[in-house]
């Protein structure tokens, strides 16, 4: 029996408008891959990202064009030769892992040697807005242990100060999404350190990264848009102290594991992050969260209605149900 590939586009309404420095969205547009083999099914979910030249249409086209070349469950090993890292390969790679686990009646954790945490603290996100609006959104998180604050270049310190006043015991990740300059970073970083900011994520545009070389920031800097796979870690080591591993950038769990191990060997701090998506997209990344510095997998909280058998996230603590929707070796 030949492998069967089904690819669909799903639009998932968000619980509230989500804003970063590049724009706002009210829905998460995701691509879901289902692989069928000898009565077993595996699923994967990915988010094409316009910042990387991806769209729903070109992701669907890429996957459908590849379908005739995928005839056997063992074709999983050929994906890096067939596709570039990105959302399309992520959805397919994760579907292959889930299919293999179901076919072999074991878990992806057993197949990869990864042990997921019993639970972990995930960052919860405050999106870009006016000072009072962002402060109120932070308050609504109920004194979360870790809050990720999306910030453009305006009123940086004022916004963090207001959020810190509302949540004095919380730790913060500031995510600039490439929206700052080196001069702004140098101006605000010392003040942010005093306001419980533990990490500044991608402050400069990727093309301006070299300006970070030689700068000793008082807050660790994390590469997000600048870090996709393990290929350029030696260069990033001169500029950043942490990397954000997202499966939509690595092209799936397979390369994410390589990036994780290589980054560990180079003494990077590690964040495991996500695009805005459901628990189906979070589940493969959750396997990497047992020994990392920061987890940012709050996608299911941002979705209005998460998928059945998804993660439970309460007060920032993330737990998987006994029958998680992906990777357990139990076909749902």
**pTM for this prediction:** 0.94
Confidence (pLDDT) at 2:
87
CATH 3.20.20.120 residue ranges of the chain are 119-319
The alpha carbon of residue 231 and the mean position of all alpha carbons in its chain are separated, in whole angstroms, by 18
Handedness of CA 122, 127, 131, 132 (dihedral sign): negative
62-78 pLDDT, tens digit each: 999 999 999 999 999 99
Select the more confidently predicted residue: 144 or 36.
36
With a CB cutoff of 8 Å and minimum separation 6, the contacts of 16 are 302
Q: What radius of gyration, in Å, describes the C-alpha atoms of the chain?
A: 19
198-235 pLDDT, tens digit each: 999 999 999 999 999 999 999 999 999 999 999 999 99
With a CB cutoff of 8 Å and minimum separation 6, the contacts of 314 are none
245-258 per-residue burial string, b: 16 or more CB within 10 A, e: under 16: bbbbbbbbbbbbbe
- Kindly list the strands in the beta sheet with 119-121, ordered across the sheet, starting from the edge strand earlier in the chain: 119-121, 317-319, 312-314
For 318, the 3-state DSSP assignment is strand
Q: Is the pLDDT of residue 55 over 70?
A: yes
Q: Class of the 4-106 domain?
A: alpha beta
Beta bridge partners of 269: 242
The DSSP line for 135-171 is HHHHHTT-S-SEEEEE--SSSHHHHHHHHHHH-TT-E
226-281 pLDDT, tens digit each: 999 999 999 999 999 999 999 999 999 999 999 999 999 999 999 999 999 999 99
Q: What are phi and psi of 305, to 5 degrees?
A: -130, 105
Topology (CATH level 3) of domain 119-319: TIM Barrel (3.20.20)
Confidence (pLDDT) at 1:
60
Q: Is the pLDDT of residue 332 over 60?
A: no
pLDDT band at 24 (very low <50, low <70, confident <90, very high): confident
Q: Active-site residue numbers?
A: 150, 246
CATH 3.30.390.10 residue ranges of the chain are 4-106
Residue pair 230/263 in contact by the 8 Å Cβ criterion: yes
Q: Is the pLDDT of residue 180 over 90?
A: yes
d(CA 147, CA 128): 13
């Amino acid at each position: 029996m030949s492998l069967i590939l089904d690819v669909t586009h799903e639009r998932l309404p968000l619980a509230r408008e989500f804003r970063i420095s590049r724009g706002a969205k009210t829905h998460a547009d995701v691509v879901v891959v289902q692989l069928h083999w000898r009565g077993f099914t595996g699923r994967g979910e990915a988010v094409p990202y316009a910042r990387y030249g991806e769209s729903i249409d070109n992701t669907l086209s890429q996957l459908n064009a590849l379908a005739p070349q995928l005839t056997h469950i063992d074709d999983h090993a050929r994906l890096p030769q067939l596709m570039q890292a990105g959302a399309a390969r992520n959805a397919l790679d994760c579907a292959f892992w889930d299919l293999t686990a179901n076919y072999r009646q074991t878990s992806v954790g057993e197949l990869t040697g990864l042990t997921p945490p019993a639970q972990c603290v995930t960052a919860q996100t405050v999106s870009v807005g006016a000072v009072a609006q962002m402060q109120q959104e932070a308050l609504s998180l109920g004194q979360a242990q870790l809050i990720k604050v999306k910030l453009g270049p305006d009123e940086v310190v004022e916004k963090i100060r207001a959020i810190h006043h509302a949540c004095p015991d919380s730790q913060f990740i500031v995510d600039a999404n490439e929206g700052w300059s080196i001069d702004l970073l140098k101006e605000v970083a010392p003040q942010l350190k005093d306001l419980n900011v533990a990490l500044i994520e991608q402050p400069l545009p990727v093309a301006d990264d070299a300006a970070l070389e030689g700068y000793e920031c008082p807050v660790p800097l994390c590469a997000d848009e600048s870090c996709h796979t393990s290929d350029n870690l030696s260069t990033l080591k001169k500029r950043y102290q942490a990397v954000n591993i997202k499966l939509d950038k690595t092209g799936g769990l397979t390369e994410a594991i390589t990036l994780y191990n290589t980054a560990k060997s180079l003494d990077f701090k590690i964040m495991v992050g996500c695009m805005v998506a459901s628990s189906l997209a979070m589940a493969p990344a959750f396997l990497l969260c047992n020994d990392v510095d920061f987890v940012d997998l709050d996608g299911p909280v941002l979705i209005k209605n998460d998928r059945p058998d998804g993660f439970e996230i309460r007060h920032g603590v993330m737990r998987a149900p006994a029958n998680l929707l992906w990777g357990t070796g139990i076909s749902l």
